[in-house]
A and B are shown apart, each in its own frame.
Chain A
Amino acid sequence: MRLTAPFCSWWKALAHRRDMEAEVEAELQFHIERYAEDLMRNGMGREDALRRARIELGSISVQQEKNRSSRGLRPWDDFYADVRYAFRQLRHAPVFTVTVLLVLALGIGANAAMFSIIDATLLHWLPYRQPSQLVSLYLLDDHGDISWAYYQDLKEWQSRSQRLQAIAYYTPVEGFLETRFGQQEVSAQSISANLFSVLGVQPERGRSFVEEEQTPGRNKVVILSQPVWRLMLHADPDVVGKTVRLNDQPYTVIGIMPPGFAFPANDRDPQIWVPAELTPAHQKAILDWSAPKYQVIGRLRGGATPNAVGAELSGIEGGLVSQYPEQMKAELPPTRAGAMRYRETLVKDSRTALFALIAAVSIMWLIACANVANLMLARGTARQREIAVRGALGASRWRVVRQLFTESLILSALGSAAGLALSQLVLGIFDHTLRTQLNLPGRLVPNPAVLGALLALTVLSAVLFGLFPAWLAARTPLEQSLRQSTTQAGGSRTRQRLQQAMVISEIGLSLVLLIACGLLLRTVFALRKVPLGFRTDHVLVLQPKLPRYKYRNIDTNRAIYQPLLQRVQALPGVSAATITTLLPLHKGFAAILTLNVQTDKKPTAPPLHIDAQLKAAGPELKDILGLRMVRGRFFSQQDTPDSQLVAVVNRAFAKLYMPAGDIMNFGIGLGEGRQAKIVGVIDDFHQTSIDQPAFPEIDFCAPQLRATDGFYQPTLLAHVEIAMRTQTGPEQLVPALRRTMLEVNPDLQAGEIQTMEQVVEDSMGNQLLAAHLLEIFAGSALLVALAGLYGLLAYLVAQRTREMGVRIALGAQRHKIIEMLLGQAGRLLLSGVIVGIVLSYAAARLIASFLYGVKPHDVSNMLVVTALLLACGLAAAYVPARRASRVDPMEALRTE
C-alpha cells in the first residue's frame, strides 16, 4: 500500500493532469471562500475579506506548481518543458534538423542492421540448457581438416573422458514424411537416445528416446518438431502414440519437442528425430573404412575448456589408433581429436567477416557522431544570445546544459528511428546474400534485445555528439555574448579547434573505410580475372535430387539419368550434354581417392601418397566446359563399354606422380582384372574455389563404367549432375528442362537448375557481400565527411563575411580569397589523410584474410583512394570559397 500510493498519484497527475488541476483549484477556491466568510463574520467587508484570503494562500498557479512538486513531479515537468522547447527549436531550424537526422540515420542505421545480424549469428540464441557448455567433438587429420568420429572412437571418449559430463551423437538421414498433402521432405537426424538430455531439453509432449530403441527392430519411433507437427500434421493433439509413414515405413510418434527447439541449430527446415540404430557393424571390434561415423556433441564438466577437452580426447585417441587394422594405420595419418564450442561451429566461417563489418559500422557511427557534434558546435555559436538571455533570466548553467542535451537526445532518438527503418530496407535488399552466406533464419526482424542495444546506442550517441557542445555553449560568459550581436559573435578558439579536430577525424576515418573498400573491390576484380580454366558462358547445370530410400536398390544412373540425359541431348537448343559426378566450384559431393603408388626406382622407398578427387564424366564434358588438354586426349565416342578402359588425370595429379615415372604408363585397377589406362592430362582448373589452386583429380569415362566396378559406387551411384552447353541464353531452356525432368520421372522435380555463371558468383559470396556492404559504408562515410567539411567551411565563411567584405573593399583579389580558403581546407584534408593512413594500417589486418590478388598495404590502392578523397574534399570546399569571393563589400558591411 505504501508503494502503490505514489504510483496512483503519479498516474493521476500525468494522465489526468487537467482533472487534477481542476480539483486543486476547486479545493483552493473553497478554502478562500470559507476563510473569507470567517473574516466577514469578524466584520470585514466582502471584497477585503476575499483579497485577504487570496493573499494569505498565495496565487493559485503557484499552489498548483507546489502541488506538482509535492508529488515529486518537478523533474518530469522540467523534462517535459525541455522536450517541448526542443521540438520548437528544431522546427525553427529545419535545415539543421534534417541534416542531423540524415547523418544520424546513416550512422545509426548501419549499426542497427549490424545489431540484427550479430544477434542472429554471433549471439545466436540456442534453445538448450546452458548452451555455453556444449562442445562439438571431432577428429582432426594432419592437415587440420575436420572429420566425424567413428562410433568406436566416441564410445571410448564417452567412457574415459573426465572433462565431459556426457557425449551424444547424431547424423543426418533421409526423411520423406507421408502427410495429407502427399510426401514431404523433412530434415531428419538419426540421434543417440541421450541427445536431448545432453542438450537439456525434454519433449513438450510424450517422451524422449530410451536406449533400447537404438536396437534393430525397436527403432521405428520418431520425435517431431513443432513445425512438423503444426504444418504437416495439422497439430493433431493425439498424435503421440499414432503411426506415421516415414520413408515408406511405419514409425510410432513418441514425442513432440517444445516450440523454438531445433537441432542442429542452424538447420532451418522442419525437423524430426529418429534413434540411431546400432547394428552389428557398430559393435565390430575391428575398424574398417565403412564403419559408421557420427557428428558428436558433448557437455563440458564445470570449468573445463574446449582446448583441454581436445587435448584429453587426443590422448585417448592416440591409444585407440593401435587398435586400427594395419592397412588403416598405414594410410591414416596420426589422428588427433578437437573440440569447439557448439555456438562457434555455427559461425566459424563468417566470424572474420562479421568482425570486419562490426569495425566498419563502428567507424561509420563515429564519423556520424563527429559530424553531428560539429553541427551542434556551430549551432551553439549561433545560439549564444538565446542561451545568454536564458542565463540572464535565472537559468542555471546545469539547467541550460540539460536543456541542450535534451535536444541532442531527441535528435538522436529521431535519427535512430529513421536508422531503424533504413536498416530494415538494407537488410531487405541483402536478404538473399545474407541468408546464403550467413545462414540466417529468414527475414531479420528487430527483437527486444536488438532494440535495447539500439536504445543504448541512441543515448551514447547523444552523449558523444551533444554533451560537450552543450557544456561549451553554457560556459560562455553572459555579458560578453549579450553585448555582442549575433552576426559578429565569432566562435571561441576552443570551439574552432574542436570543430577542426572533428573534421580531421571524420576525414581520417572515411579514408580507412575507403581504403578497405578499395582493397575488397580489387579482390573481387582479381577473383573475376582469375583464369578459371573452364568456360562459364552458355553452360547450364542440373543437379537432380532423388529420394534415396525409394531408389536404394536401383541403379539410378541406368534407370533414370541415362534416359534423362538422352532426352536432354535431344532438346532443341542444347548442343551438348553429359553426365558428370563433380562440377567445378560446386559445393557438392566429392569422393577422395587415396593412392599409394610404388615408385619404380627403389623398391624400398616409401610409396607415393596421392589424394585425388574421383570423377566420372562423359566425353562431351571437354567441349561443354572448354577444358584444355596438356597431353594426350580426353574421352571420345570410341570409348565404349567394350573397348579399353580409359582415364585422364589433371596436371596437378601428373605433377605429383612425376617421381614414379611417366603418367601415361600409369594403370589403375578397377577390380576383376579390369585396368584403366591413362590417355591424357587435362590442364588444371579451379575445382573447389577460385582462390584455391587445383586439387589432383582422376577422371573415368562414365559410359565405360560397370555397376560391378569398384569406382562405380562412389561416383555414378552416389551423385550425378548433368551439364549442358546451350545455343541460346541458358535461362531460356529452364522451363523445357523442368518439363523433361517431370516427364522422365516425377521424383526429379526437386532438382536444382543453375547457370555456371551463377555457380561462380555464389562461390565468391563472402568477398562479394563484404565488398558490397563496404561500398555502401564507405560511400555514405565519404558523403558524411564531405558534408562535414563543406559545413565547416560554409560556416566559417559565413562568420567571416564582414572580414571578406573588408578585404575586398581594400582591394584583395577575389582569386586570392579562394586560394586562402582552399588552403585552409587543404590543411584539414591533409591532416585527415595522415590520420587515416595510420589507422588503415591497423584496419587492413582485419580484412587481410579476405584479400586475394592484392596486398593489405597496397600502395597504389592507397594513393588512388587518397587522391579521390582529396579531390572530393577540395570540390566540397570550393563552393563556400567561391561564395566568399563573391561577397559584395557594401552588403557585407551593411549587415551590421
Chain B
Amino acid sequence: MGKHLELLQGTLDMLILKAVSLGPLHGYGVLLRIQQISGDQLEIQQGSLYPALYRLEHQGLIASDWGESENNRRARFYRLTTAGWKKLQKETENWNRMADVIGGILSREPEEA
C-alpha cells in the first residue's frame, strides 16, 4: 500500500463533512466513501475516524440517527446539519484559495523570481 498518501493535518474533518454531504453514512461508510472518491489514494487511520466524528457531532456540524444498514443491521448514520453545510462551504472556499496560493508559489519558475 505504499502508493497511499498520508492525510494532511486537520483535513480529516473537512473530508468527513464532504462525505456525509453526499448522503447519510455510517462510520465505516464514511471511510469507504472517502477512499472511493480519492481513488484509493488516501489512507485514513481507522482509530482517528470516530473521535473526529464525535467531535463534529459535539460541535453540531453533523447529527446522527440509528437506522438499518444495507445488510439489515442496526448502524448509526451521520448526516450534515445546516451549520455543517455552512462550515463545509467556508472550508472548501478556504481550501481552494489556499491551494491556489500554495500552487502559485510552488509553480513559480526560477527566472520569474
Which residues of A line the B interface, CB within 8 A? 1-2, 4-6, 9, 23-24, 26-28, 30-31, 33-35, 56-58, 62-63, 66-67, 69-72
Contact = CB atoms under 8 A, between A and B. Distances in A.
A72 B58 CA distance: 9
A39 to B, nearest CB: 12
12 contacts: A1-B81, A2-B59, A5-B58, A5-B83, A26-B74, A30-B28, A31-B27, A31-B28, A34-B28, A56-B47, A66-B54, A70-B51
Interface string B4-27: 000000000000000000000011
Interface in B45-61: 46-47, 50-52, 54-55, 57-60
Given A1-B82, A30-B69, A30-B74, A67 B51 contact: yes
Given A1-B82, A27-B76, A6 B59 contact: yes
Which has the most chain B C-beta neighbours within 10 Å: A5, A58, A66?
A5
Contacts of B82: 1
A216 to B, nearest CB: 72
A71 to B, nearest CB: 4
B29 to A, nearest CB: 9
Given A27-B75, A30-B73, A57-B47, A67 B54 contact: yes
A9 B58 contact: yes
Contacts of A34: 28, 69
A30 B59 contact: no
Contacts of B73: 30, 33
A28 B50 contact: yes
A72 B59 CA distance: 10
Given A30-B26, A67-B54, A2 B83 contact: yes
A157 B58 CA distance: 66
Contacts of B83: 1-2, 5
A1 B80 CA distance: 13
B94 to A, nearest CB: 18
Contacts of A23: 76
A57 B76 contact: no
B60 A6 contact: yes
Contact of A57 (B26, B46, B55): B46
Closest 9 CB pairs of A and B: A5-B60, A70-B54, A58-B47, A70-B55, A66-B51, A71-B58, A9-B58, A56-B46, A34-B28
Given A27-B27, A57-B47, 9 more contacts: A2-B60, A5-B83, A9-B58, A24-B50, A27-B75, A30-B74, A35-B28, A56-B46, A63-B50
A66 B50 contact: yes
Contacts of A24: 50
A24 B75 CA distance: 11
Contacts of B46: 31, 35, 56-58
Nearest to A58: B47
B13 to A, nearest CB: 11
Interface string B24-48: 0011100000000000000000110
A6 B59 CA distance: 6
B57 A9 contact: yes
Which has the most chain A C-beta neighbours within 10 Å: B46, B54, B60, B74?
B54
Interface in B74-98: 74-76, 81-83
B58 A6 contact: yes
A5 to B, nearest CB: 3
Contacts of A27: 26-27, 50, 75-76
B55 to A, nearest CB: 4
Nearest to B50: A63
Nearest to A35: B28
Nearest to A9: B58
B106 to A, nearest CB: 34
A58 B28 CA distance: 14
A472 B82 CA distance: 52
A447 B55 CA distance: 41
Nearest to A71: B58
A33 B74 CA distance: 12
Contacts of A56: 46-47
Contacts of A69: 51
Nearest to B66: A23
Contacts of B51: 63, 66-67, 69-70
A9 to B, nearest CB: 5
A71 B55 CA distance: 6
A1 B76 CA distance: 21
Given A1-B81, A27-B75, A30-B74, A70 B58 contact: yes
A31 B73 CA distance: 11
Contacts of B75: 27, 30
A1 B58 contact: no
Contacts of A63: 47, 50-51
Which has the most chain A C-beta neighbours within 10 Å: B47, B58, B74, B76?
B58
Contacts of B59: 2, 5-6
A5 B27 CA distance: 20
B63 to A, nearest CB: 8
A41 B60 CA distance: 36
Contacts of B28: 30-31, 34-35
A34 B26 CA distance: 11
A23 B27 CA distance: 13
Contacts of B57: 5, 9
A625 to B, nearest CB: 83
A6 B58 CA distance: 5
A26 B27 CA distance: 12
A266 to B, nearest CB: 54
Nearest to A4: B60
A23 B66 CA distance: 9
A33 B50 CA distance: 15
A31 B81 CA distance: 23
A664 B96 CA distance: 116
B88 to A, nearest CB: 14
B45 to A, nearest CB: 8
Nearest to A69: B51
Contacts of A5: 57-60, 83
Nearest to B47: A58
A72 B74 CA distance: 27
Nearest to A33: B73
A63 B54 CA distance: 11
A431 B97 CA distance: 75
Contacts of A26: 74, 76
Given A27-B76, A35-B28, A67 B50 contact: yes
B87 to A, nearest CB: 9
A675 B75 CA distance: 113
A35 B50 CA distance: 14
Which has the most chain B C-beta neighbours within 10 Å: A6, A28, A57, A70?
A70
A6 B26 CA distance: 21
A56 B27 CA distance: 14
A35 B75 CA distance: 14
B60 A1 contact: yes
A66 B51 CA distance: 6
Which has the most chain B C-beta neighbours within 10 Å: A1, A31, A56?
A31
B51 to A, nearest CB: 4
A585 B59 CA distance: 74
A24 B66 CA distance: 12
Nearest to A65: B51
Nearest to B81: A1
A827 B27 CA distance: 72
Contacts of B27: 27, 30-31
Contacts of A1: 60, 81-83
Nearest to B87: A2
Contacts of B76: 23, 26-27, 30
B26 to A, nearest CB: 7
Contacts of B69: 30, 34
A647 B58 CA distance: 93
A72 B51 CA distance: 11
A503 to B, nearest CB: 51
Contacts of B58: 5-6, 9, 70-72
B78 to A, nearest CB: 10
